A and B are shown apart, each in its own frame.
Chain A
């Protein structure tokens, strides 16, 4: 036993090679020091690598915002579209080419405020795409205004005396609108996030992953967080509970905490399949 132990230590885990999915000449990215978007992007690239899909079969669509800069750095088929309209463009892409894997990268303001209408209707149709909502509770690109997920009482450039609007729960909204896969992850729990995104990518139908990450520059500075690390520990680690652990915990420990993991998964007819079966078949059989 004692002689075998040193040999085991020699085993070196090679780090993941992100460069094969990136456009290295576009780096360094525009995100601020400590921004969680980079961590989420890494988890996304590892999850895509796990699926084994060729790069040419993946389309990444985004709207406007900090998170929506992601397609600029990745070497897939990418599209940077109008503010809030990423899901509308993605629906068009999926509809024209159902063989492609469509991933929408969007921020909380982009998806729930400006594009709220497109978000709920994409969920309603249950079209086969993966939507990653980066929830940083602020509009980082335009100067730190409060967003639809900013907690009550939080300070922003447009709520100097504390936000009085109750926030949206992205997962509940997606579930109520009809998405067939709803999950939540955080940038802190990056390996768990990788697994969640992998499950979302493999799901047939609309899959929504709400990802909590930190904006140290605006949300952090205005709400008296000292560093990006402190934000990650308070907002992402202490403020969330895995859904598998939540069953074992007493209800008073779950007060005010968000659930992580796969929150909702059902099998529902997918939009492109339904269109193929009910519209194209009937239309061509009449001729």
Chain B
């Protein structure tokens, strides 16, 4: 049984606004994000389920998931 091809999420991170508080990393249920220096980066895009918890809890308006 081949699984249907999953459409990948699009995660937009605004590096100018991100302060690296790592709230989005800790609340991500599928560990999609990681901290690179003082900014968040995408580690595993395929795992993203588009739950948008990172977007909801980002205090800096820095991340959006489409």
Contact = CB atoms under 8 A, between A and B. Distances in A.
B23 A228 contact: yes
A286 interface: no
A15 B59 contact: no
A12 B19 contact: no
A13 B64 CA distance: 11
Interface string B24-57: 0011000000000000000000000010100111
Interface in A1-57: 5-6, 9-10, 12-16, 18, 22, 27-29, 31-39, 42
B66 A9 contact: no
Contacts of B55: 15-16
A5 B6 CA distance: 11
Nearest to B9: A12
Interface string A255-285: 0000000000000000000000000000000
A232 interface: yes
B17 A36 contact: no
B61 A34 contact: no
A190 interface: yes
A33 to B, nearest CB: 4
Given A37-B59, A228-B21, A228-B23, A9 B4 contact: yes
Contact of A34 (B6, B52, B59): B59
Contact of B21 (A16, A34, A42): A34
Interface in A107-125: none
14 contacts: A5-B4, A15-B64, A15-B65, A16-B55, A28-B16, A34-B23, A37-B59, A39-B56, A39-B58, A42-B61, A187-B57, A190-B57, A216-B21, A229-B26
Given A22-B61, A28-B60, A38-B61, 7 more contacts: A15-B65, A28-B16, A38-B58, A39-B59, A42-B56, A191-B56, A228-B21
Interface of A: 5-6, 9-10, 12-16, 18, 22, 27-29, 31-39, 42, 187-188, 190-191, 216, 227-229, 232
